[in-house]
Structure 1
Amino acid sequence: MQPKITGYRQLNEAEAALMNEIKARGVELGELVQKLRGTEGLDQRWVSIGATDLQTGLMALTRGVAQPTTF
């Protein structure tokens, strides 16, 4: 059995697979953001807003699967 993380329940195999898929998509999106940040002529303010919103969305998806019991 894996160690218990305070505020989190133990995930089953399907939930762990979903978490890993979310994390993999996060890596892909992070690479896209880096590409956009390196492209001249783009409005970097909006690129930054998009990056923050993507991070927020990924966090929400992760919390939706993990269902933490703490703030």
Structure 2
Amino acid sequence: MENQHRLIKSHRELSAEEIALMNEGKALESSVLAFIDRLEEKGKAGDVEIYGRWLAIGKTGIEQGFMAVIRAIAKPGQ
């Protein structure tokens, strides 16, 4: 269905620039999370000693940070 966002309360029209910035942010997030996944794999394989708890805390913080940045662009509920 075209323009589905119009049916969701608190969603607004985004400009092409806003969409491009959100997509850029999502791509950056994906790259950073892929790096973290590589660290986790290397730790499990015994190639590198990784403290899993700190890695998990870092991953959560990065996910929350990117979510906040994307929401700053989208401004839902405004």
Q: TM-score, normalised by structure 2?
A: 0.81
Match runs of 1:7-46 below 5 Å: 7-40=10-43, 41-46=49-54
Q: TM-score, normalised by structure 1?
A: 0.88
Considering only aligned residues, what root-mean-square deviation do their CA atoms show, in Å?
1.5
Q: Which of 69, 72, 78 is equivalent to 1:61?
A: 69
Higher helix share: 2
Q: Structure 2: where are the runs of 5+ without partners?
A: 44-48
Q: Which has the larger radius of gyration?
A: 2
Asked which structure has the greater RCO (Cα within 8 Å, sep 6+), the reply is 1
Give runs of ≥4 in structure 1 deviating > 6 Å. Answer: none
Identity %: 33
Matched residue, 2:46: none
